[in-house]
């Protein structure tokens, strides 16, 4: 397997190639997501609960960029497709969030590691209709095995880029950077899935046993 596909420059170039000619539809998808979540979040004191209940919309945004990266579809209907499988997708988001919070209660570093380990869970669920959340989380651990800190570094770089560019351009650059980051992460998933061998099942199982919160 060729891990050069997982370098920052390789994923960056792939995301840029995907978005070439697709910027308008990508920006529109992000705007639709932001308008819906932002509007519903204004209904205090229930805004947080409402946004929690519509987390499948975020999964839909991930699906949109996943299909775009595969050159399968530019259909904005992908944003709402996870609602057709609402209980499973909602539980996938909730279960992943609960595990990350439990780890974060211990210390910041375990919380970060948990977030990285489970970062591919939703992509895996989108790719495998019917797959249970727990199994998807396990597969995510296998998929990112050996490269969690590389992914952490990529996240830091993108965050610094967004913060710096956002400040320098008074937020204007984020119109392009937010869709780009979504596309970037979709292509990280594709690079992990297609280019890297997963960890041996017994290795991941041992790691799970050693790191399960009390």
Q: Identify the band that residue 3 occupies on the pLDDT scale cut at 50, 70 and 90.
A: low
Summarised one tens digit per residue, pLDDT across range 71-87 is 998 999 999 999 999 99
Structure-token match 């050069």, residue found:
4
How many helices, marked H, and strands, marked E, lie in the chain?
Answer: 11, 0
Summarised one tens digit per residue, pLDDT across range 8-57 is 999 999 999 999 999 999 999 999 999 998 888 777 677 678 878 889 99
Q: Kindly state the average pLDDT of the residues 121-127.
A: 97
CA distance linking residue 52 with residue 93, whole number of Å = 9
Please give the distance of CA 177 from its chain centroid, rounded to a whole number. Answer: 15
Helix 174-195 with 133-143: angle, nearest 10 deg: 80
Identify whether the C-beta of residue 142 lies closer than 8 Å to the C-beta of residue 198: yes
CA distance linking residue 167 with residue 185, whole number of Å = 23
Q: Identify the band that residue 157 occupies on the pLDDT scale cut at 50, 70 and 90.
A: very high
Q: Tell me, what's the pLDDT at 5?
A: 73
Least confident range of 45-59, 110-124, 192-206: 192-206
């Amino acid at each position: 397997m060729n891990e050069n596909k997982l370098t920052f420059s390789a994923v960056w170039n792939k995301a840029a190639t995907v978005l070439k000619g697709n910027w308008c539809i990508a920006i529109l998808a992000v705007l639709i997501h932001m308008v819906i979540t932002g509007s519903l979040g204004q209904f205090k004191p229930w805004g947080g609960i409402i946004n929690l209940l519509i987390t499948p919309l975020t999964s839909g945004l991930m699906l949109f960029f996943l299909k775009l990266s595969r050159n399968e579809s530019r259909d904005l209907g992908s944003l709402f497709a996870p609602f057709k499988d609402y209980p499973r997708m909602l539980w996938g988001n909730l279960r992943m969030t609960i595990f990350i919070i439990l780890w974060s209660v211990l210390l910041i570093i375990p919380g970060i590691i948990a977030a990285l380990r489970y970062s591919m869970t939703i992509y895996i669920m989108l790719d495998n209709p019917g797959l249970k959340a727990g199994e998807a989380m396990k597969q995510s651990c296998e998929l990112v095995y050996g490269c969690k800190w590389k992914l952490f570094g990529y996240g830091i770089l993108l965050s610094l880029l967004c913060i710096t560019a956002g400040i320098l351009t008074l937020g204007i650059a984020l119109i392009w950077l937010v869709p780009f980051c979504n596309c970037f992460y979709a292509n990280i998933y594709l690079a992990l899935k297609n280019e890297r061998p997963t960890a041996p099942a017994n290795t991941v199982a041992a790691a799970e046993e050693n790191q399960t919160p009390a």
